[in-house]
Amino acid sequence: MRMGYVLDVVQTQKLIMTPELRQAIAILQFSSLELGTYVEQQLQENPLLEIGEDFESENIEGQSLAESEIKEEDKEKERENEYDIDWQDYFQDSSDLGMTRSEMCREQNDYSYENYISIAPNLMEYLMRQLGLVKCTERNRVIAEYIIGNINDHGYLSYSINEIAKQVGASISEVLDALKIVQTFDPPGVGARSLQECLLLQLKYLNLDDDLLVCVVVESYLSDLADGKYNRIAQVLGVSVQEVQRVADLLKTLDPKPGRNFSSLSDNRYIVPDIVLNKVDGEYEIITNDNSVPRLTINNTYRAVLGQSKGDSRTKKFVENKLNAAAWLIKSIEQRRLTLYKVTKCLIELQRDFLDYGVKHLKPLNLKTVADIVGLHESTVSRATSNKYIQTPLGVFEMKYFFSSGLSSIEGSAVSAESIKKTLQEIVDGEDTKTPLNDQQIADMFNTRGVKISRRTVAKYRDEMNIPPIRKRKRY
């Protein structure tokens, strides 16, 4: 077989991802806050972009109108009070009764901005404040500060006693003494090294540590208690099942993570909806939330450079590239807005019963159905609905929430998974706690209501909703 090189001309079609196309896809995926940040970055990088005058004038006019209204109100109040007697000061002046003004104003509280805080203290700051109020030796204070610094966000001590003793150069007994001081702080259970110790500290704080049954269950049978094996614990300890049930109810009132109620840097999470739905006269009005995205225009000064016959070719080339980038960015943002509007309008038409009557009326829906109606690709609909939130009269939902899998009913219609979960929760809430329903009984109840569902599907939905199994729901 003879081998050689052959030169052929072949015509093929390929989809090439240009930088502009990548930018348009990224803009479609951005949420409102992310798009606002991206636009601010582009304003700094591209000199041809500028904020539209209408966007600036709205803010300036809004501020000026508010300021003028306030000034007019102040002037009217001054005119009204020009000839009025300050009766409040007159009656507070009791000098003629033998009381000075300072004595009358002594009980008045003066408030300042220092009385208010914008950020709640985190766990470490809260514990350090309590340590400053404790009377102890300087050595114990230093070790206690190191212990507080190694308490995690859940309130547990993350280092062992031996490691702390090695780091601070102290004996194990000194570290234990300092740890006992920290464990007396609020919240109860802080500084524990295990779940058992955390619960015992809280029992001690509530003066319930003299209950021997509770302490024994916490120390030795906590895993069996979590699995709902009340009969086994009762047989081993020689007590009634009702006593074990009492212990379980008591332990459920305790906090297994005492430090989680304190703020951290990542606690403040705010959702800004990308779409706002307002129901007006029985119809839903779609509003795209673009308040955080400034309206962009192209700077006419730089655009005039391209019209000049004379000039540096490199400068013209630079301005031309930036002009194309600016125009494409404005076009991509407008395309994103139109795509969101189309998809939202389609979701309203398909899920109208959900918006009117609640979660139980949510219908099964997939991306392909919406894509066929809107005339877009499934990937485009997926990008348009990812990381987006929609504000409805029922509350704020993620747009992906409108897409739900489902099961078929006996009549042939489809029922969404969210609707089944809502019904499942209602069934569990209404069951007899002494004889709770198992998964097969719940499946039979669904079948009598016309919904075909298997026992495995019931167990799957129950696990997703964090509903415990039958032995953990049973009450004695």
Give the containing element (helix H, strand E) for 440. Answer: helix 439-448
Residue 230 counted as domain residue: yes
The H or E element containing residue 92 is helix 87-92
**Does one domain contain both 226 and 174?**
no
Contact 154, 192 (CB under 8 A): no
Model's pTM, two decimal places? Answer: 0.62
Q: Is residue 378 part of a domain?
A: yes
Whole-angstrom distance, CA of residue 458 vs CA of residue 441? 10
pLDDT at 181 over 90: yes
Cα 297 from Cα 317, distance rounded (Å): 20
Helix (H, G, I), strand (E, B) or coil at 210: coil
Do 188 and 206 belong to one domain?
Answer: no
Q: Are 429 and 384 in contact (CB under 8 A)?
A: no
Q: Are 334 and 445 in the same domain?
A: no
pLDDT at position 189 is: 92
Per-residue b or e along 241-279, where b marks 16 or more CB atoms closer than 10 Å to that residue's CB: eebbebbbebbeebbbebbeebeeeeeeeeeebbbbbee
In DSSP terms, 284 is beta-bridged to 279
Average the pLDDT over each of 55-59, 186-190, 440-444 and give the range with the smallest value.
55-59
Q: What separation in angstroms does the CA of 443 have from each of 254, 407, 447?
A: 34, 13, 6
Is residue 273 within 8 Å of residue 289, measured between CB atoms? yes
Q: From CA 281, how far away is CA 237, in angstroms rounded?
A: 66
- Quick one: which of 132, 256, 264 has its CA closest to 185? 132
Whether residue 279 sits in one domain with residue 254: no
Tell whether 130 and 227 lie within a shared domain.
Answer: no
- Within a domain: 82: no
Q: Which residues in 290-445 belong to E strands, given as ranges?
A: 296-298, 389-392, 395-398, 406-408, 414-416
Which one of 5-9, 65-69, 94-98, 332-336 scores highest in mean pLDDT? 332-336
**Domain holding 462: CATH number?**
1.10.10.60
- Looking at the fold, whether 390 and 444 belong to one and the same domain comes out as no
Percent of the chain with pLDDT over 90: 22
What is the rounded distance in angstroms from the CA atom of residue 290 to the CA atom of residue 379? 23
- What is the predicted pLDDT for the residue at 61? 46
pLDDT band at residue 60 under the 50/70/90 scheme: very low
Residue ranges of alpha helices (H) inside 183-211 are 195-205
Q: How far apart are CA 475 and CA 423, in angstroms?
A: 22
Between 127-131, 315-319, 339-343, 418-422, the lowest mean confidence (pLDDT) is in 315-319
Domain that holds residue 243: 196-262
Residue 446 lies in a domain: yes
> Do 419 and 463 fall into the same domain?
yes
- 44 occurs within a structural domain: no
Same domain membership, residue 243 and residue 135: no
Tell me, yes or no, whether 109 lies in a domain.
no
What CA–CA distance (Å, rounded) separates 386 from 326? Answer: 25
Q: Please, what is the end-to-end C-alpha distance for the chain in angstroms?
A: 87
Cα–Cα nearest to 404, from 385, 425, 426: 385
Q: What is the pLDDT of residues 213-226, one digit of tens each?
A: 999 999 889 888 88
CA atoms of 321 and 318, how far apart (whole Å): 5
Q: What local confidence, expressed as pLDDT, does residue 75 receive?
A: 56
**Residue where a domain terminates, one of 374, 402, 430:** 402
User: What residue type is 358 in one-letter code?
Assistant: G
Q: State whether residue 288 is helix, strand or coil.
A: strand
- Please give the pLDDT value at position 194: 92
As a whole number, mean pLDDT of residues 358-365 equals: 85
Q: Where are the beta strands (DSSP E) in 173-323?
A: 275-280, 283-288, 296-298
**235 domain-assigned:** yes
In a domain, residue 423? The reply is yes
Say if residue 288 is in the same domain as residue 393: yes
As a whole number of Å, the CA-based R_g of the chain is: 34
pLDDT of residue 73: 54
Cα–Cα distance, 250 to 200 (Å, whole number) = 12
**One domain, residues 279 and 391:** yes
pLDDT tens figures, 18-41 = 777 888 888 888 888 888 889 899
Q: What is the mean pLDDT of residues 278-283?
A: 88
pLDDT at position 266 over 60: no
CA pair distance 369, 363, nearest whole angstrom: 12
CATH code of the domain in which 177 resides: 1.10.10.1330
| Under 8 Å between Cβ of 389 and 30 | no
Both tokens assigned to 430 = 């209404």
Of 84-98, 154-168, 258-272, least confident by mean pLDDT is 84-98
- Judgement on whether residues 352 and 283 belong to the same structural domain of the protein: yes
Token pair recorded at residue 146? 């190191």
Asked whether residue 137 carries a pLDDT value surpassing 80, the answer given is yes
Q: In degrees, to the nearest 5, what angle opens at C-alpha 251 toward C-alphas 245 and 254? A: 155
Domain boundary (363, 387, 402) is at 402
Total number of domains in the chain: 4
**Residue 90 CB burial class (10 angstroms; 0-12, 13-18, ≥19):** exposed
pLDDT exceeds cutoff 80 at 292: no
Of 402, 424, 443, the last residue of a domain is 402
Residue type, 399: M
Residue 65 has pLDDT above 60, yes or no: no
Same domain, residue pair 249 and 354: no
Q: What is the pLDDT of residue 151?
A: 92
